[in-house]
Amino acid sequence: MGLERRDAARHYPDQDEVDQVRIAFRAPSVVGLGFGMLDVGEVVPGTPASTGGAGVRGRTLVNRFVEVTLEPAGALALHDRRTGERFFDLLRLEDGGDAGDTYTYCPPARDRVVRRTGQGRIHVRRLAPGPLVAALEARWSMKTVAARLVVMLYADHPVVRCLLEVDNRAPDHRLRARLPTALGGGSPALAGAAFGTVRRPPVSVDPADFPLETPVATAPAHRFVAVAQGRRGLALLAPGFFEYEWTSGGDLVVTLLRAVGELSRGDLPTRPGHAGWPTSTPQAQCLGGHRIELGLVTVQEEELVHGHVVLAHWEDAFVPVSGHWIRDAGPLTPAPVDIALEGAGLMLSAVKPAHAGGSGAGGGLVLRCYNATDGKAAGAWRFGEGVKSAHRVRADERDSVALVLENRGRTVRFVAEPREIVTILVT
């Protein structure tokens, strides 16, 4: 039997050692749910290099939108080049005890919150110089965790992408990252929800006023939480659900991990009795490595009124065009797919096959979106290949109402009421 080495041939005879190279390129325009094909070739002599874009200056990443600097404590300083607003000490890690269970956070009787300072050594190196992607890596250690932070800035995007890897070495504690906004806690924070947003003011209570269960200061968010006054504002983005706190002092604090060892405890001063079955949960101590993706983007108060603006930043950060390498592939002809949603304030929620028990039992495609604004929104679905029929249905895909097809089945128009979810079935 003969073997032909295809990966990193110079490492012969090792068959499991390969070279890994990361590349960046400007993705071409790709139609909705479609594909774009690129070939890899040699650089043509005389091809001009890209200018502008993103770059690295010491410990600072810069593009035409923002500058972001790694501070001595491992936190970030952010400068919005469009408005001149500056933020400091962003994403500084802080760690405190956690005497609670999987249901309820409870501070220990003698809790001491430890914040990462600039006294310890921090190792910084450049990962990508630009012009399409600029990136820095920082490594440091605290008493309970070791951390690796990768900060990335793309050429044409204002979002600061952060990848935080932590190695948790201790039980019974809560690790969080703080983002001072210098806005004060008078205004509520805008948190993402499943099909919209919710505004929440800071929670400030006296435990003595609640002899049974103390209200928690944290709250859930889906995809983002943002605060803004005038042109100064900041949004924190994450791939899915996360926990945050909006303080009366104007700080956003995001929970990175809680390390606890009991499903339910019956002796918490913040809650009477058990919330669930009393049993040990050693894996909930979250020991070992964890990978956390976050994004930071400056926003203005007017943009938060139009709820789709922050969601568009989120889509750019976490659901961009995805690149896949197909080795030794001949000419490919993927099936043509072209589906586009149009309409200011409308956000895509789902594109999926029709449910077998619904109005589309005979087949079809379900298209779901929602209106992220407080006003009516006119929208349209456009198709590269015409559809035969379109019906507006409920979320459970029942009670269908026929819609008019335009442009030989290539356009289906609709109107979404404020904050309304719109589900359309096409065949």
Q: Tens digits of per-residue pLDDT, 51-64? A: 569 999 999 999 99
- Whether 28 maps to a domain, the answer reads no
In a domain, 22, yes or no: no
CA separation (Å) from 282 to 69, 176, 197, 243, 275? Answer: 38, 21, 35, 21, 18
- Domain of residue 356, CATH code: 2.60.40
Assess whether 217 and 303 both reside in one domain.
yes
- Cis-peptide into 131, omega within 30 deg: yes
* pLDDT for residue 33: 82
Question: 3-class SS at 308?
Answer: helix
Q: Are residues 208 and 92 in the same domain?
A: yes
Q: Is residue 412 part of a domain?
A: yes
Distance between CA 230 and CA 298 in Å, rounded?
A: 12
Q: What is the mean pLDDT of the chain?
A: 89
- Domain span holding position 86: 55-318
Task: Give the pLDDT confidence score for residue 135 in this predicted structure.
Answer: 98
Residues of the chain predicted below pLDDT 70: 1-13, 15-16, 43-52, 118-119, 185, 328-330, 357-362
Rg (CA), the chain: 25
Q: How many domains does the chain have?
A: 2
Give tens-digit pLDDT for 101-138.
Answer: 999 999 998 888 888 876 678 999 999 999 999 999 99
pTM of the model: 0.89
Residue 251 lies in a domain: yes
Q: Write the CATH number for 114.
A: 2.70.98.30
Amino acid in the structure at residue 46: G
Both 308 and 344 in one domain: the answer is no
For residues 308 and 373, state if they share a domain.
no
pLDDT tens digit string along 323-335? 877 776 667 777 7
Task: Decide if 69 contacts 296 (C-beta within 8 A).
Answer: no
Does the residue 14 lie in any domain? Answer: no
Give the three-class secondary structure for 313. Answer: helix
Quote the CA–CA distance of 396 and 379 in Å, as a whole number: 21
Q: Does residue 197 share a domain with residue 75? A: yes
